[in-house]
Amino acid sequence: MINCRSAAELERLARVNALVARVLAELMGAVAPGTTTRALDRLAEQRLVEAGAAPAFKGYHGYPATICASVNEQVIHGIPNDRKLVEGDIVSIDMGARLDGFYGDSAVTVPVGRISPEAERLLAVTQAALERALAVVRAGARVHDIGAAVQQHVEAQGYSVVREFVGHGIGTSLHEEPQIPNYGTAGRGARLAEGMVLAIEPMVNAGKAAVKVLSDGWTAVTKDGSLSAHFEHTVAVTATGCRVLTLRDQAVAEAV
């Protein structure tokens, strides 16, 4: 079942997603050579607890941390550890929270110091793919319009879309219907309706699309060792477009 949220529910979703955006913005600022992903994880959990929220990922199917921190060829679900980030790395930070019974979810890929032009281009293309996906979201559109927008942009730039992992509905559960692949044929899939809340998250590889999961049971990496990037926003579908609930600049401004 795909849920359409009331105005009151949407405001509760807006609050938790604004919190996610605010904490994610702080984490982005903390990324630097010498930082560990475990330190970022501790900071994220501290900020959520201070706000009266709970980490959405920690304990979810046994996941051990507050954030997913995926470095370089790691695509998604990287477990924070004591490895120090070095200049030239890229790190995807994916974070969710639960507040007053509702969930928020967002991700961004961050450069560690100066990165290569190739890595910069991958980040730019992946972020642009997310923006193109958001541009097609509106009541009456189809779920696969979103994936088609991502796939067309990514493949036109010579990159590959990850197919094993998808975006999703979100609300009183972290993962709800519908599933939102980052590929597809426009005009197909469930019809979007006003009040739906969606987590849209392109995952893009610089090389081939194939991925594998490491022995920890969580960390997915590119099979060919190429870099991967991941960006995600949670949005509410409106009659004329979408309301982005995880805008980081707005969340930070409102907190000041």
Other beta carbons less than 10 A from residue 13's beta carbon: 24
> Which pLDDT band, with edges at 50, 70 and 90, does 252 fall under?
very low
Indicate if the pLDDT at residue 128 is higher than 80: yes
> Which pLDDT band, with edges at 50, 70 and 90, does 194 fall under?
very high
Q: What percent of the chain has pLDDT over 90?
A: 96
Indicate if the pLDDT at residue 66 is higher than 60: yes
Structure confidence by residue, pLDDT tens digits, 153-165: 999 999 999 999 9
Q: What is the average pLDDT across 28-54? A: 98
First and final C-alpha spacing in the chain? 39
Beta strand pairing status for 233-237 and 228-230? unpaired
Q: What is the mean pLDDT of the chain?
A: 96
Indicate if the pLDDT at residue 253 is higher than 90: no
Q: One-letter amino acid identity for 126?
A: T
How many residues are listed for the chain in this entry? 256
**What is residue 19's predicted lDDT score, i.e. its pLDDT?**
98
> Which pLDDT band, with edges at 50, 70 and 90, does 85 fall under?
very high
> Which pLDDT band, with edges at 50, 70 and 90, does 255 fall under?
very low
Q: Kindly list the domain boundaries of the chain, sorted by start residue.
A: 7-255
Residue 146 and residue 180 in contact, taking contact as beta carbons nearer than 8 Å? yes
Which pair of tokens denotes residue 184?
């597809």
**What is residue 250's predicted lDDT score, i.e. its pLDDT?**
61
Superfamily name and number for 7-255: Creatinase/methionine aminopeptidase superfamily (3.90.230.10)
Q: What is the average pLDDT across 34-58? A: 98
